[in-house]
Structure 1
Amino acid sequence: MVLRWTNSADYRRPGRTWVEQARTRADSAASGLPAGVPEQRGTAGWHQVPEQTRGEHTHSETPLPPRPRVERTSVRGQVLDALRTALVDGELVPGEVYSAPVLGDGLGVSATPVREAMQQLAREGAVEVVPNRGFRVTERSARELAELAEVRALIEVPVVLRLARTVPVARWAELRPLADATAVAAAGGDRAHYAETDRAFHRAMLALGGNEQLVQVADDLHRRSQWPLPGGGPLSRRADLVADAAEHMALLAALEAQDLAVVQALVREHFAGAAD
């Protein structure tokens, strides 16, 4: 069974998603108040939480309805994938703090694999640990995303140009289904699905060079560049997704035609757009 985010229609409290509840409980833990009780700000700042109290302690909270369980053999990986999808979708809001136990409740797993996945995301720079509360989603700046796009271009552009000169034309046809998949995802406006198909296309293209380490490094940078800005990233609208997918189609056509001048122009334009 694959982990999935709870739809708002299935949420336990009307009008709020379970992700929002995880944020509320993390905030409540920080204030020392029960979930749902407004925090009080004074001249001294937030209420202090007793040192012996864990911010993610939820024993006194009303148990949530059971969620579908997942296969234990891959639970950590599924949780990590689900959280990465939420980052791309913007469900995990930059600057907000989330409680691992409640995120786990929403996914039908314990808090342990959620914390493990969040620790991995912390190593990737997506979140940061907030003692006694949970995890805060990193607020990304336009400059950070531009720097990631620049590094990606330094890696991928020369590789694609080399492959354009050395890879047999017939091999490029293997990428056609992947390019088509990006177009379908873009047309549907599904940002999380588009992010997956976008990375799959780039991985397959770079893999033609035979350097697995390069593919892994480039894919990691690509994934990190897909986390949205607070107001939406460079690929936050359907029109942006469609335009990006069209660049894949045009690049693939130029590679199949062995038009090196067009390939160079398109691949540089593609990464320039990612930095905007």
Structure 2
Amino acid sequence: MKQAGEQAGRRSAEGSAAFGVPGQRSASAWTPAQASGPDSREHAHAEPPVPRFAARGTVERSSVRGQVLDALRAALVSGDLAPGEVYSAPVLGERFGVSATPVREAMQQLAREGAVEVVPNRGFRVAVRTARERAELAEVRGLVEAPIVLRLARTLPASRWAALRPAAQESVAAAARGDLARYAEADRAFHRALLSLAGNEQLVRIADDLRRRIVWTGCDLRADAAQHIALLDALEAQDVTAVNAAVHQHFG
């Protein structure tokens, strides 16, 4: 009994150190899992390497699912969870220091978003976006967002755009660092702030869901971030012609 209690205590201590504080992670927080113990030998040849979340703090149990979801999204953006590979909830749970349940729930949410697909009796396969799928996604995003931005450019005063500057600058900083996970967050924050000015929450949610499906690996982050700045400059200048050109470049 004493030995079992000590083992449980060790597992609890390891689990509490397995997560970072929300808002402080980046793609660099993920490193390939180091094989150790009997569990790693069991899965060494069954699954691809699973990234380990760096220790940065203690997680409240009520927020475990949310932190696992955020961590998985960051790993998907950075490529630490590789497209086409299958990962099981129990193995990911071991690496995170939590049970399989919050991992499975997070993966099911990602499946609803189209980021992974369920593989019966095995786990979840990371989705592979074809060139056509990426082009279709870009077209849909343009159809949803571009008309709203052009309408706002004609109706809002120049003073309303200053609040978007920090998010645009954060996207530039993340692009300069090559931080895919942070760039994805900054990009979504910029576009959420932009579209929220239209006062349509349903629009913001739909656009946000579409942006979660973007594959940033291989993209020119610096060019994309520069387009945020160019669009914002044109909006502040109330130059509708320049806004129209920036919108078509950004969504084209």
Q: TM-score, normalised by structure 2?
A: 0.80
Number of the residue aligned with 1:125: 114
Number of the residue aligned with 1:70: 59
Structure 2 contact 30–80 (Cα < 8 Å) conserved: no
SS of the aligned residue for 1:128 comes to strand
Structure 1 contact 157–267 (Cα < 8 Å) conserved: yes
Q: Deviations over 1:56-93 (max 9, x none)?
A: xxxxxxxx9xx765211211111111111111101111
Structure 2 unaligned segments of length 5 or more: list them. 1-19
Q: Deviations over 1:98-127 (max 9, x none)?
A: 121121122221110000011111111111
For 1:35, give the aligned amino acid: H
> Alpha carbon RMSD of aligned pairs, Å?
2.5
| Alignment partners' CA distance in 1, 2:90 and 2:58 | 15
Shift of 1:12: 3.1
- By percentage of residues, which structure has more helix? 2
Structure 1 contact 70–109 (Cα < 8 Å) conserved: no
| Alignment partners' CA distance in 1, 2:170 and 2:43 | 42
Number of the residue aligned with 1:140: 129
CA gap 1:146/1:95 in 2 versus in 1, 3 angstroms: same
Shift of 1:7: 4.5
| Alignment partners' CA distance in 1, 2:250 and 2:30 | 34
Number of the residue aligned with 2:171: 182
| Alignment partners' CA distance in 1, 2:106 and 2:238 | 43
Number of the residue aligned with 2:187: 198
1:268 aligns with one of 245, 248, 252: 248
Structure 1 contact 247–270 (Cα < 8 Å) conserved: yes
CA gap 1:124/1:7 in 2 versus in 1, 3 angstroms: closer
Q: TM-score, normalised by structure 1?
A: 0.74
| Alignment partners' CA distance in 2, 1:36 and 1:110 | 19
| Alignment partners' CA distance in 2, 1:210 and 1:7 | 37
Structure 1 unaligned segments of length 5 or more: list them. 15-21, 26-33, 40-54, 56-63
1:220 correspondence with 2:228: no
| Alignment partners' CA distance in 2, 1:8 and 1:137 | 18
Over the matched positions of the two proteins, sequence identity in percent amounts to 65
For 1:2, give the aligned amino acid: V
